[in-house]
Amino acid sequence: MANSHLTPGIVPGRLPAATIAENFSDIHPPYSRHEAAVAADRCYFCHDAPCITACPTGIDIPLFIRQIQAGNPIGAAQTILSANILGGMCARVCPTETLCEEACVREAAEGMPVEIGRLQRYATDALMATGTHPFVRAPATGKRVAVVGAGPAGLACAHRLAMHGHAVVVFDARSKPGGLNEYGIAAYKTTGGFAQAEVEWLLKIGGITIELGVALGRDITLDGLRQDFDAVFLGIGLSEVNALGVAGDDRDGVADAVDFIAELRQAEDLTKLPVGRDVVVIGGGMTAVDAAVQARLLGAETVTIVYRRGRERMGASADEQEHAQTEGVRIVTNAAPVAIHGNGAVREVEFAYTEEGPEGLRLLPERFRLRADQVFRAIGQRLGDLPEGLRLEGGKIAVEGPGRTSVPGVWAGGDCTPGEDLTVVAVAEGRDAAEDIHRALMG
């Protein structure tokens, strides 16, 4: 983390290694065979299942649960993966409480839905444990497609294109594939190197080459890709972090939450990862919660999330907010930062209370300060520099239909396009763009 070595309060090893290992263990341990059978037995197998509609990838949830009930988790996994090739990761990180499980009839009737996410993990883990890949490539078409970005959207697009027989080259600026799944999700949600294991499993379809350390605009250009390939898919995510825009934002100890999470995910020894004693996270989304909870699990004594609007407006789900509080994170709402104080390094963050009015959010005269030796910005991300010709909408790449951009032969999907920034949404958009690319290439 930038500047952490200059700040005396940010130190490694606040907790013993055994405690940290326990803190970062699997948040939802996998079902046993018996537990899965009991959970599956609760499904009503609705004919017009609302859970399917609520799933961005449209997985046939009643079918795969019935297959688990019948003792066929491998068949259940094939049902899941035919709609969502990253079904294993989505089972771990999807906000199922606001998607399929919220729509579950048992949730409406009893306030206790079928645990669809954990059942999905049970099935996909069972298949991946076999080491086999259930999909087969079609005969080679002779067409080549470039995919920029090895995150959920790019990987889903690449896999579906490879299934159709196209040759795919995936370019990514980082040293590992996986995108958000590898670098941007709390470590306790995806333990045991699962993100890389899933990528390796996905690549067994064949026909996909990944080139790492290759950045759009630096090493490759969109015009060059359009000349060398028959189609291009952009799944580049959001590379820039919004600034706080307040005095003291550049003080030592102030960093981006996404960088903290990425460094934590790549750390081989969490006892060597420095964390503050008093941590303040500014923002209200999943990134804010993931950074705050993990700071607490590393041994920070006080961790506070501060969000400028009301609790109901936070991007993090109610379940995630509750989890943060269970881990000892305090959540303060209706407050916005106005200054970061300190002598070189951060010592306090000054906030103003806020109020929603007809003209939007306004700062109230009343102020308060929170002690902090480490501050994480988590107020959203945005696109970096883009090639000319791409039309934007709301600061993202504008698309029509299944990912068509304003540049002929170029599609896009995932966080870099308008819509919800969720792994499962990115998978759906990458998959659907691949189908449209296939139709375009094959006439």
SS3 content of the chain, % helix, strand, coil (to 5): 40, 20, 40
CB burial class (10 A; 0-12, 13-18, 19+) of residue 262?
middle
* Residue 252 β-bridge partners: 345
Residues 278 and 232 in one domain: no
Q: How far apart are CA 69 and CA 38, in angstroms?
A: 8
Residues 118 and 152 in one domain: no
Question: What total of structural domains would you count in the chain?
Answer: 3
User: What are the pLDDT tens digits along the chain (443 aa)?
Assistant: 545 545 788 999 999 999 999 999 999 899 999 999 999 999 999 989 999 999 999 999 999 999 999 999 999 999 999 999 999 999 999 999 999 999 999 999 999 999 999 999 999 999 999 999 999 999 999 999 999 999 999 999 999 999 999 999 999 999 999 999 999 999 999 999 999 999 999 999 999 999 999 999 999 999 999 999 999 999 999 999 999 999 999 999 999 999 999 999 999 999 999 999 999 999 999 999 999 999 999 999 999 999 999 999 999 999 999 999 999 999 999 999 999 999 999 999 999 999 998 889 999 999 999 999 999 999 999 998 898 899 999 999 999 999 999 999 999 999 999 999 999 999 999 999 999 999 999 98
CB burial class (10 A; 0-12, 13-18, 19+) of residue 227?
exposed
Domain CATH code at residue 263? 3.50.50.60
Residues 249 and 370 in one domain: yes
Sign of CA dihedral 5, 6, 10, 16: positive
Residues 362 and 415 in one domain: no
Maximum alpha-carbon separation in the chain:
68
Residues 263 and 346 in one domain: yes
Residues 263 and 375 in one domain: yes
pTM, full prediction: 0.95
Domain boundary residue, one of 363, 380, 397: 380
Structural domain that includes position 186 = 144-239+388-442
User: Side chain identity at 67, as an amino acid letter?
Assistant: Q
Name the residue with tokens 């003080």: 251
Neighbour tally for 202: CB within 10 Å: 21
Residues 267 and 319 in one domain: yes
Is 311 within the bounds of a domain? Answer: yes
Residues 282 and 216 in one domain: no
Domain boundary residue, one of 359, 380, 401: 380
